[in-house]
Amino acid sequence: MSTIFGPVHSRRFGVSLGVDLSSSGKQCNFDCLYCELAPMPAMANQHTVTPVETVISDLKDALSKHTAIDVITITANGEPTMYPYLGELIGQIDAIKGSIQTLILSNSACLGNEKVFNTLLKLDQVKLSLDAATPAVFKKIDRPAEGIEIASIIENISRFSHLYKGKLFIEILFVKGLNDALSELEALNTALLGIRCERIDIGTIDRPPAYPVQGMNFEELYALSRRFDPSLPIHIVSRTHLSATQSTYSDDEILTTLNKRPLTMEDIDALFDEESKERFKKMLSQGKIGQIERSNILFFIPVENINRKRSK
**Half-sphere CA count of 194, side-chain side, radius 13 A:** 15
Cross-strand bridge partners of residue 202: 172, 236
Q: Of 271, 270, 265, which Cα lies nearest the Cα of 297?
A: 265
Q: Please list the ranges in the chain whose pLDDT falls under 50.
A: 240-244, 309-312
pLDDT of residue 312: 43
Q: What is the pLDDT of residue 240?
A: 47
Residue count (the chain): 312
Nearest 5°: the CA angle 71, 75, 53 is 85
DSSP state of 144: B
* CATH 3.20.20.70 given to domain 4-242: yes
Q: Three-state DSSP class for 277?
A: helix
Q: Parallel, antiparallel, or unpaired for β 297-302 and 167-174?
A: unpaired
Residue 13, exposed/middle/buried by CB under 10 A (0-12, 13-18, 19+)?
buried
| Strand ranges across the sheet with 234-236 | 4-10, 14-20, 71-75, 101-106, 125-129, 167-174, 199-204, 234-236
The CA distances from residue 40 to 27, 33, 48, 56, 70, in Å, are 8, 10, 15, 28, 33
CA distance 15 to 29: 28
Residue 122's Cβ-side half-sphere holds a number of Cα atoms within 13 Å equal to 16
Spatial distance between the Cα atoms of 299 and 292, rounded to a whole number of angstroms:
5
Sequence ranges of the chain with CATH classification 3.20.20.70:
4-242
What is the C-alpha to C-alpha distance for residues 233 and 240, in angstroms, rounded to an integer?
21
Distance CA 42, CA 49 (A): 16
- CATH second-level architecture of 246-312? Orthogonal Bundle (1.10)
* Residue ranges, CATH 1.10.10, the chain: 246-312
- Give the model's pLDDT for residue 254: 87
Torsion sign over Cα 247, 248, 251, 253? negative
Residues 300 and 258: beta-carbon distance below 8 Å: yes
Burial (0-12, 13-18, 19+ Cβ within 10 Å), 231:
exposed
- C-alpha Rg value of the chain to the nearest Å: 20
**Cα–Cα distance measured from residue 16 to residue 293, given in angstroms and rounded to the nearest whole number:** 20
- Distance CA(114)–CA(156), nearest Å, equals 10
Q: Are 144 and 42 in contact (CB under 8 A)?
A: yes
